[in-house]
Structure 1
Amino acid sequence: MSVVRIDQGHSATLPHVRIQPAKGLLDLDFAGLWNYRELIHILVWRDVTVRYKQTVLGVAWAMFQPVATMLIFTAVFSVMGKIPSDGFPYPVFLYAGLLPWFYISQALSRGGTSLVGEAPLISKVYFPRLILPLSATIAPLVDLALAFVAFLGLMAWFEVVPTWRVLLLPLFAGLGATIALAAGLWVSALYVRYRDVGHILPMFIQLWMFVSPILYPVSKVPEAWRAVYALNPVVSVVEGFRWALIPGFQVDFSMFLPSLIIVAVTLVGGLIYFRSMERTFADVI
C-alpha cells in the first residue's frame, strides 16, 4: 500500500504530497498520524456530540447507564445473591469495577466497527486508517470522566474518602485504553473481511465481563486458577481502579505482569496485522 507524506518545505504556495510505498509491516507511519492529528480531533468531537445530540438527558446518559447498572446488579448479586465484596460497600466495590469496564466495552465496540462504519470515507479519501480505531478508543474517555463524577457522589454517600492513590488512576485508565485499542485493531481489520465478527463481538464483550472481576472479587477465584485468570488483561485494570479509588483495598500486583505481557503482544501483533490488511480495506469494504 502507498503511504502519503506531506512535505511543507518545497513550495511557497501549496504543500507537496509525496506518495511512496510502505517500507514494511513495521512502518506504521506515525508521521502520517501526526500530520492528520486534526482529523482525530474532528472524529472524536463528532462521536461525542452525535452520541448525545437530540437526547433529553444529554451527557447525563454517560452517568445514568453505569448508575442504573450498579443499582440492578447490587440488588441481584449482593442483596439476593449474597456475593461478597472483600468487606467494602458492594455499590462502591461494583461501581469501581464498572467504571473501566464500561469504557473498555464501549471503546472496543466502537473501535471494532470503526472501519466498516466509515466505509464511504475509506473508499474515497486517503488518510492513515489507524486514525479510525484510535479515535474510537479516545472518544469514550469522555463518558469515563462523566461516570467518574457520579462515582464521587457515591463515595460521598458511603463516606469513602480517596487517598493519594487516586493520583495513579490515569495510569490504569491508560492501560484500559491500550487494551481497547489492541483488541480494536484486530477486530476492526477482521470485520472488514469477515462480517461474522459483527455478530460475535457483542456476545464476546458480554462474556468477557463475566470472566472479569467486576461482579465479584478476585478472592472468589480458586487459588489454583489465579495464574490463568491473570492472563485476562481486564483483571489488572479493574483491580487497579479499585486499588486507586477504594482506601484499604489490597491488590496482588504480581497478577499484573501476565496482563501487561498479553497487552504488549496483542498491541504489537494488532498493529502489524492491521498494517498488513490496510492495503485491501478500500477494495474489500
Structure 2
Amino acid sequence: MTDVFKKLAEKYRYSIVVFKELVKTDFQLRYQGSFLGMAWSVLKPLMLFGVMYMIFVRFLHFTDGTPTFPISLLCGTCLWSFFSEATSMGLMSIVNRGDLLRKVHFPNYIIVAATTMGSMISLGLGLVVVIVFGFFAHAEYTWRVVLVPFSIIQLYCLALGVALILATMYVYFRDIQHIWEVVLQALFYSVPIIYPLSMVSKNYPTVAKIMLLNPIAQPIMDIRHNLLSPKYVPTVWTEINSWWIPLLPYGCTFVILALGIYLFRRNSARFAEVL
C-alpha cells in the first residue's frame, strides 16, 4: 500500500506543485494593491451581511423570530459568497490563464481547481468569523459540528462542477459570463438565505420542500443546521418524510461534477488553439 501511494505521489508531484503555486498566486493577486489585503476575505461577507440585516431583517422583517437567525444569515452569506465567487472566477480562469496554457504543459483542470480553492480559503476565514460571532449570538454548538466538513466538501464539489462547465463554455461563448450573472441572481433568491424558509412554508409548504431539494440550498441549510442551530434551521432531512428524496441533491451534485469533468476533459485539448 505504501508503494502505491509513493507511485501516485511521484506521478502527480508536478501537478501538485503547480496547483499549490497557482492557489497561492491567485489568492494573492485578488487583493494585490489593496490597503487591507486579505482582510477583505472577511470584510466583504461582513459588509454584505450588514446591508442584508439592516434592510431585510430590521426594515422588512424577513425573520422567523428565532435567536439564531442573525448568525444564520451571516453564515448563509459567507456560503453563498463562496459559491458565487468560485463559479464566477472559475468561469474566467481558463481564458485569463491562456498565456500560461500556451507556454507550460500541465493538466488544464488545475487552473479551475486552483481558482475555486482560493475561494475555499476565503470561505474558511469567513467561517472562523461565523463561529466566533456564534458564541455571542446564541448559536448551539453540538456534536453535529463534525458533519459540517462533509457538507462543505459537497458544496465545493458542486461549485467545482459548475465552474468546469462554465469555464469550458466561456472559451467558446463569451456571452456566458453575462448569462451566468443573471442566473446567479435568480439562484440567490431561490435559496432561503435572506429570508427564513418558514415564510414560504406557511403558505406554500410544497414549494418550500422543493426549494430544499436545490443542490445549492441543501448543503447551505445543512451547514447552518449542523453548525449553528439544529433546533431552528430546517433541512431537507427534517422537512421531507422520505428516505430517498433527500438523497436527490447529493445525486444532482455528483451528476454536475461528473458532467463538468467530462465536458472539460473532452474540450481541454483545444483550449490553447482557441485562445
TM-score, normalized by length of structure 2? 0.86
**Shift of residue 86 of structure 1?**
5.9
Q: 1:272 aligns with which of 259, 262, 266?
A: 262
SS of aligned partner of 1:139: helix
**Shift of residue 227 of structure 1?**
4.8
With over 3 angstroms needed to count, the CA separation of the structure-2 counterparts of 1:86 and 1:263, relative to structure 1, is: farther
Matched, 1:186 2:168: no
SS of aligned partner of 2:170: helix
More strand by share: 1
Match of 1:198? 177
What do residues 64-84 of structure 1 show as CA deviations (whole Å, max 9, x unaligned)?
A: 111111111111111111112
Match of 1:246? 228
Which range is displaced more, 178-187 or 62-71?
Answer: 62-71
Match of 1:23? none
Q: Could you tell me whether the CA contact under 8 Å between 2:45 and 2:126 is conserved in 1?
A: yes
Q: Distance in 1 between matches of 2:10 and 2:249?
A: 29
Tell me how many residue pairs correspond in the alignment.
257
Matched, 1:72 2:54: no
RMSD between aligned alpha carbons? Answer: 2.2
Match of 2:218? 236
1:1-285 equivalent positions in 2, closer than 5 A: 35-85=14-64, 87-221=66-200, 222-247=204-229, 248-249=231-232, 250-253=234-237, 254=240, 256-285=246-275
Q: Could you tell me whether the CA contact under 8 Å between 2:169 and 2:176 is conserved in 1?
A: yes
Q: Distance in 2 between matches of 1:152 and 1:228?
A: 29
TM-score, normalized by length of structure 1? 0.83
* Greater radius of gyration (CA): 1
Amino acid in structure 1 at the alignment position of 2:165: W
Q: Distance in 1 between matches of 2:64 and 2:100?
A: 47
Amino acid in structure 2 at the alignment position of 1:114: S
SS of aligned partner of 2:258: helix
Which range is displaced more, 125-134 or 213-222?
Answer: 213-222
Q: Distance in 2 between matches of 1:101 and 1:256?
A: 21
With over 3 angstroms needed to count, the CA separation of the structure-2 counterparts of 1:283 and 1:206, relative to structure 1, is: same
With over 3 angstroms needed to count, the CA separation of the structure-2 counterparts of 1:163 and 1:231, relative to structure 1, is: closer
Amino acid in structure 2 at the alignment position of 1:240: D
Q: Distance in 2 between matches of 1:94 and 1:239?
A: 11
SS of aligned partner of 1:232: coil
SS of aligned partner of 2:108: coil
Identity across matched positions, percent: 26
Q: Distance in 1 between matches of 2:59 and 2:44?
A: 21
Q: Could you tell me whether the CA contact under 8 Å between 1:169 and 1:244 is conserved in 2?
A: yes
What do residues 177-197 of structure 1 show as CA deviations (whole Å, max 9, x unaligned)?
A: 101101011100000000111
Structure 2 regions of 5+ residues with no counterpart?
1-6
Q: Distance in 2 between matches of 1:231 and 1:251?
A: 9
Q: Distance in 2 between matches of 1:237 and 1:178?
A: 11
**Shift of residue 34 of structure 1?**
5.4
Structure 1 regions of 5+ residues with no counterpart?
1-8, 10-29
